[in-house]
């Protein structure tokens, strides 16, 4: 199954945060993207479940 998260965007955000905060983190490993993807999928699943339980057809920010 393809990743939901976009690795290039994850890397870009990590580098931006790194620069802004003055940290020394320079790289993001491939396993980080895979772990983040699993969390995102679980979060989406939980949000869909909550919307369903509230008899809505639309997943909203409040479902997170």
CA-CA-CA-CA dihedral for 17, 42, 34, 11, to nearest 10? -20
Which residue ranges make up each domain of the chain? 7-63
More confident residue, 10 or 1: 10
- pLDDT tens, 2-48? 889 999 999 999 999 999 999 988 888 989 999 999 999 999 999 99
pLDDT value at residue 6: 92
> H/E/C letters for each residue in the chain?
CCCCCCHHHHHHHHHHHHHHHCCCCCCCCHHHHHHHHHHHHHHHHHHHHHHHHCCCCCCCHHHC
Q: How far apart are CA 20 and CA 45, in angstroms?
A: 32
């Amino acid at each position: 199954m393809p990743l939901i998260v976009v690795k290039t965007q994850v890397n870009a955000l990590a580098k931006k945060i790194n620069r802004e905060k003055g940290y020394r983190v320079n790289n993001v490993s491939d396993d980080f993207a895979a772990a983040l993807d699993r969390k995102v999928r679980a979060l989406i699943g939980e949000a869909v479940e909550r919307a369903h339980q509230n008899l809505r057809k639309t997943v909203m920010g409040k479902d997170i």
